Structure 1
Amino acid sequence: MSRATSTSAPELSPQFCFNERVLRDFLRISRSTIDDSITQNLNALFTPAREGFDPSSTAVRQIDSKAGKSIDPADCQAFKDNVLFPSWQTRSDVLTYCAGVATSPDPDDPDLILRENESARDRERVVNERLDPYSARFFPQEARTESLANVVRNQRNVEEIIRARTWGLVCEKCSGSAATWEEALNSWRERTQR
């Protein structure tokens, strides 16, 4: 079985962020490669040959041959340091970059003139609510930076949920993983920054 590898970072640009489909696809693929298949990734770390073959093990049907056993701590640490945390960091970097794009001025917004015209028309509009009670409603078109900010906010919430779930499984399979995922990731960042 091949071992999982860390997700490689995309080339970051405002165009990458504003193409919300591409941004979501990158996050989805990264999550499916590492987090959604965390059980398989961790099970791949087991090395049953190290313990030797026990012929009596075939006498009884084994539902889960790995039950109660933990993965070699060195293999667990290597997986976290070389696959899990780098993938999480890559996704964090992408979301942080895109959050910066979402809060920056957007002079290249293709809908800017359209929104300005809508706003000018809305200010000049005379509303007779007796004739049309819904005419006072105005739904201005959302700027693409606002839309991107919403996507980033939602994806950060998804990241929190996925990382908590993944870390729970890592703690279950790898002994010695007692810190929260935030503490473990920050500790890894400190170790790798030197």
Structure 2
Amino acid sequence: MASRRALFVIDIQNELIADPETRIPNPERVIKASEEILKATRSIIDLNNNRPSPWLIVFVQHEEFPPEGTMLRGSKPWELLFHLRANQEDEILVAKSTGDTFVSNPDLAQSLRDKNITEIVAFGLQSEGCVEATSTGALAAGFDVTVLSGAHSTYDSNGKTAIEIEREVEHRLSTRGARVVPWEEQISTWAEQP
């Protein structure tokens, strides 16, 4: 089987993206990017309906525990904004309780390799938290990593805007070996591939 990619949709959960009291600034940008990225990836999966798909979509869902967290399993803040399609073997859900999805799930890297995954394509929330940690974990596990610029974000913090933090994270990840590509450019190349 040919090598495959895994699209990591990281922590796009109600508390971070939908709740007006707690969401990131300008969530519309990440929502629009997410919709377009998922649409493009799912169309490729659907074109391969009777053959092995070149893609696996991994929805990552963060879980916290009282008293320090509010994204408690089963709660409204914990719920994902985007959901897996029913009866679709090329879409999976992975729970985590640490920033790095691979630390929370020690068998994940081998499970992905068993599915011929060689590249992780990552986006979501928060840039300097779980997106950076999971991308770094994927690199450490030996995967090629692409981070979709413009499709991840965070909160303004320490006198820096979310956009400034996003750029800093992209720079750090690129120095570690990740590719950083604008999401619009990346999905247009997917559409051109056979």
**TM-score normalised by the chain length of structure 1:** 0.29
Greater radius of gyration (CA):
1
Structure with greater strand percent: 2
Structure with greater helix percent: 1
Instruction: Choose between structure 1 and 2 for higher RCO, CA contacts under 8 A separated by at least 6 residues.
Output: 1
